[in-house]
Amino acid sequence: MNGRGVHALGWLAGMGVAIGLAFVLGSYHTDVYRKMLIWVAMALGFNFLFGVAGQIAFSHFAFASVGAYGVVILSHQLGLPFGLAFVLAIVICGLTAFIVAIPATRLEGFYLALATLAFSQLVRVTIDEGGALTGGTGGLANYRLPPFFGVDVRGPWYTVCLVLLVAFTLWILTRVDASWFGRACRAVRDNPRAAEAMGVDIARARILVFVMTSTLAGLAGIGYAYVDNVINPAVFSLENSFLLLFMIIIGGSGRHVGAMLGAVVLYLAPFALEPVAGNHYMLVFGVLIVLAILFRPDGLAGLLRITRPGKAA
């Protein structure tokens, strides 16, 4: 069988298992599984921004909240048809990301991190002070995903939607990563001066990648909004942005497999660690991260490395 066939079979098998799980899990495990899928989608996008394009940004959860609040406010608070609210929420994420990107991507490293931290706080304050529209610190609840063309998407079928969200995110990012644009992103990360000399418009590449990954975060946020049918500012807090960063570092920065592994392991770890270590499991994370940085800079993905060094996953 050729490489393409193996690749297609891998996708099919992965999708089969991921969708199959949706139908066999009980209600408690379904909740865990759905949130894990959201984390995987978030980690994939953030990995592209941080691991592939080298942008240290902490705005990923802020954009997820823009997506989640956007769709819930537009469809349930303002009464727009769900399809329209969905599209508008995504457009709002893209536009917001574009506005943030223009000044922010001129900045590098530490300064970009600060600018995106400031943006995250701005979003948080806006939600907190949004009164009845955003539900303030208490958030929004008592809404439901409306029937889609007469079909009520709930139970395992909603979980399938989240599997498709992950697949869609992975598909887009894999395509982009393997293209001239993916190479340009890695080149800008590794050596901006040389990238520019090779014809890469650095500012344009940085803006595009920021808008693309932030919009994907918004999409994941929309997916999250209907997991519990509750959204509140705490879910999109900065702590989660840091956890996302840890997932990428432990999983293996710059590789899709790494992002997914990191998300699954770090999301599920507290469930295993809490009975043993109680609330101190964060301490275990900390030690793991230090070990990862010291001994395995290519993370968990490095342990099952199948491709050549430097090659994209």
Partner 1 sequence: MSAPLLQVRGLTRRFGGLVAVSDLDVDLGRGEILALIGPNGAGKTTTFNLIAGVDRPTSGTIVFDGRDISRQPAHARAALGLTRTFQHNMPFAGMSLTDNILVGRHARFTGGLVDVILGARRLREQESAARRKADELIEFTGLGARVDADVSTLSFGEGRLLEVARALVSDPRAILLDEPAAGLTGAEVARLARIIADIAARGIAVLLIDHDMRFVLPLAHRAIVLKFGEKIADGPPRDIVNDPAVIAAYLGNSAGAAHA
The residues that touch partner 1, with contacts defined as CB under 8 A, are 172, 175-176, 179-181, 183-184, 186-187, 189-191, 193-202, 208, 212, 254, 308-311
Structure tokens at 188: 């800008």
Q: Report yes or no: 62 and 120 within 8 Å, Cβ to Cβ.
A: yes
CB of residue 200 to partner 1, shortest distance in Å: 5
CB of residue 212 to partner 1, shortest distance in Å: 7
Question: How many angstroms separate the CA atoms of 280 and 282, rounded?
Answer: 5
Q: Is 131 or 311 the residue whose CB approaches partner 1 more closely? A: 311
Q: Report yes or no: 97 and 210 within 8 Å, Cβ to Cβ.
A: yes
Structure tokens at 59: 């705005």
Beta partners for residue 297, in sequence order:
none
Q: Report yes or no: 217 and 64 within 8 Å, Cβ to Cβ.
A: yes
CB of residue 205 to partner 1, shortest distance in Å: 9
Q: Is 128 or 196 the residue whose CB approaches partner 1 more closely? A: 196
Structure tokens at 103: 């000044």
Q: Is 110 or 180 the residue whose CB approaches partner 1 more closely? A: 180
**Dihedral angle of Cα 186, 59, 29, 70, to the nearest 10 degrees:** -120
- Alpha helices by DSSP H, listed for the chain, are 3-24, 27-47, 60-72, 82-104, 109-128, 131-134, 156-177, 180-190, 192-197, 202-225, 238-251, 256-277, 281-295, 299-303
CB of residue 262 to partner 1, shortest distance in Å: 18
Q: Is 137 or 191 the residue whose CB approaches partner 1 more closely? A: 191
CB of residue 61 to partner 1, shortest distance in Å: 23
Q: Is 21 or 52 the residue whose CB approaches partner 1 more closely? A: 52
Q: Is 131 or 309 the residue whose CB approaches partner 1 more closely? A: 309
CB of residue 96 to partner 1, shortest distance in Å: 18
